[in-house]
Structure 1
């Protein structure tokens, strides 16, 4: 639980005032937010959202940005009581923090990190890079954005944080370029 001296890292950033271009759908028991590009495509991305969920305007904004760049984007409602979301987060942090079997990446992977991330310190990112260089058999890229904090690509509005604007835009552009290269 967060305390006064160290608030929850998930409470950082800006909440976008954004309605979304996509639509909410339900397939059997699974709820989702889906946004499709203007032109027909078979390229799709599943967006794994943060703790605030797929209804957070920031997350919808990211899904809509992917659709604007030619990808069908789907955000699934991951119910924590089923453990799905927790397992994904635990696996991701284990991979970054202390996994010895980094060669298990099956697909090209782009890692976006913030230089001043309290959740994933630079020493862990350095260790991850060393393991990737030694063991990984697929393409990967690890990029650290200077001066940024946890969630900057998703949680920062360039119009009210002008000092972050170049990094927010660069992170989003880098993500789209990576997807364009491999999907």
Structure 2
């Protein structure tokens, strides 16, 4: 997630022409984007958006990709109707905007989605995937929801909790080598802490020459040199979920 010094440059590579294959539904008190695979499935992934919110075409594109690989994908509005950040917003107001949108204060919404998936979709295995703000949220879920079987945190770290290395479920952490939002120094601290304190499967992977947002916010056809890294990261995401689900 963005920090005070380096605001999140997640507005690069927008897939604004993408419409999505799923539908918007009401899940208790929150709106959500839900897309299901062509054949039935008892596996689902909670897709957690970045600061630009649940309607962003890029994020729905990733949800659709998960559905194409056999998962029910649900992307809830974790801001619960509050305005997401906008590329035109005043970055000097970013921390103020964040105050009531903490990625670690989402339990009520998570519980509603879990009920929906189990009671209305017949799901038995649930994973999570999140980007930037959502990557922090995935880390939070792995610390608090052991029955969420696997997580993929993409450029997101919880730093303020002493127990942030004590994962309860497997997590793949994906980072970019040239990410000014989550610098390599923070990634190194995470790696060391997980090595010392984490007893479940985990992996930290750093993609060379990439910058923040590359997995979901950069079109794979923008730059030929980026394409292999984008596709590899997405493949890693799917392989991790498949391994534990």
- Give me the TM-score of the superposition, normalised by structure 1: 0.88
Matched, 1:125 2:190: no
Residues 174 and 204 in structure 2, CA contact (< 8 A), matched pair in contact too: yes
Task: Compute the displacement of 1:94 (Å).
Answer: 5.9
Task: Compute the displacement of 1:158 (Å).
Answer: 1.1
Deviations 1:94-129 (A, max 9, x none): 63x454424421100000000001111111111111
How many residues were matched structurally?
177
Gaps of 5+ in 1: 1-5
Question: How is 1:1-183 mapped onto 2 (pairs within 5 angstroms)?
Answer: 8-16=7-15, 17-79=17-79, 85-88=101-104, 89=133, 95=158, 97=159, 99-183=161-245
Deviations 1:120-140 (A, max 9, x none): 111111111111111101000
Deviations 1:59-95 (A, max 9, x none): 0000000000110000001127597742334675663
- The structure that is helix-richer by fraction is 1
Distance 2:186 2:161 in 1: 11
Distance 1:154 1:100 in 2: 29
Residues 103 and 137 in structure 1, CA contact (< 8 A), matched pair in contact too: no
Greater mean alpha carbon deviation, residues 36-45 or residues 86-95: 86-95
Residues 100 and 131 in structure 1, CA contact (< 8 A), matched pair in contact too: no
Distance 2:19 2:77 in 1: 18
Gaps of 5+ in 2: 83-97, 105-132, 140-155
Task: Compute the displacement of 1:161 (Å).
Answer: 2.0
Distance 2:73 2:179 in 1: 27
Residues 33 and 74 in structure 2, CA contact (< 8 A), matched pair in contact too: yes
Residues 32 and 74 in structure 1, CA contact (< 8 A), matched pair in contact too: yes
Q: Secondary structure at 2:102's aligned position in 1? A: helix
Residues 54 and 77 in structure 1, CA contact (< 8 A), matched pair in contact too: yes
Are the structure 2 counterparts of residues 86 and 98 from structure 1 closer, same or farther at C-alpha, using a change threshold of 3 Å? Answer: closer
Distance 2:6 2:182 in 1: 16
